[in-house]
Amino acid sequence: MRVFLAMVVVLPLLAACGGTSATTDETSELTVFAASSLTDVFTERIGPAFEAEHDGVRVVFNLGASDSLAAQIRSEGTADVFASASGTWMDAVADDPGITGRADFAQNRLVIVTPPGNPAGIAAIEDLSEPGVQLVLAAEGVPVGDYAREALANAGTLDGTLANVVSNEEDNASVLAKIAAGEADAGIVYESDVSAAAGSDVNAVEIGDDVNVIATYPIAVVSGAPSTELAAVFVAYVTGPDGQAALASYGFDPAT
């Protein structure tokens, strides 16, 4: 299982497959702030493919919880592109420092994860409120944590389930790490986290459509970014056919 905390991943410059209008004779660096749930697809597929298509471009990813990333963008102003797991935090960046070219590019659903073998016998979201169940959620304010609490409220079990929470984590990767290590009975993360491409070592339990929450992911160019023209090309790539095919292969649904 791949586990990433908020971190910077620098992708190596790949051999060029031909230039475009966004390329130069010198190396151009593009800084993309992206939700941690996008880690695998962005670092393994979209980033390398974009570099290969744009001679002399290096993509640098800062990966973490969308709320933390938005705070960094507002205080540091170092991002060219923001890809968020929540419209709320994109709205915050739209207010300060501003964005252009905003587009929804993916959707994700929630899923319950348990350690291999599901020792607590979790079969449905209602089971998470049973006495003695140890649950891990992402913290409030973190998109996957807020979505999880919304789903629990939809199921009518929020209060009882919150009493079983033993840890509030900084992002979905941290929730997965706790469950994979057997430190709790269950957690709630994104469906993409348990896709075949993600290679997760946890057991997945579906959440019913009647209570599940759909997360919509927006992407945009950050105003005042160092490389706004190249950033717009990256956004177009993510929302275009190649980017969408990569996202689908990692368990994301298309935006509607």
The secondary structure element, H or E, covering residue 173 is helix 172-180
Q: Are residues 206 and 125 in the same domain?
A: yes
Q: Are residues 96 and 222 in the same domain?
A: yes
Give the pLDDT confidence score for residue 82 in this predicted structure.
Answer: 98
- Return the percentage of the chain with pLDDT > 70, whole number: 89
Judged by DSSP in three states, 25 sits in coil
The answer to whether the CB of 213 falls within 8 A of the CB of 147 is yes
Domain count, the chain: 2
Pairing type for strands 186-190 and 99-114 reads antiparallel
Q: Are residues 126 and 81 in the same domain?
A: no
Residues 177-228 have pLDDT tens digits of 999 999 999 999 999 999 876 667 899 999 999 999 999 999 999 999 889 9
Residues 104-134 have pLDDT tens digits of 999 999 999 999 999 999 999 999 999 999 9
Which CATH number is 231's domain given? 3.40.190.10
Name which of 34, 47, 36, 35 is nearest 177 in CA terms.
36
- The pLDDT mean for the chain works out to 90
Q: Which residues pair with 82 in a beta bridge?
A: 33, 220
Q: Are residues 115 and 94 in the same domain?
A: no
Predicted model pTM: 0.85
- Paired tokens of 89: 């935090």
Residue 184 counted as domain residue:
yes
Q: How far apart are the C-alpha atoms of 215 and 87, rounded to whole Å? A: 9
Residue 231 counted as domain residue:
yes
63 is in which domain, residue-wise?
A: 7-107+217-249
Q: How far apart are the C-alpha atoms of 6 and 174, rounded to whole Å? A: 10
Pairing type for strands 57-64 and 28-35 reads parallel
CA atoms within 13 A on the CB side of 193: 31
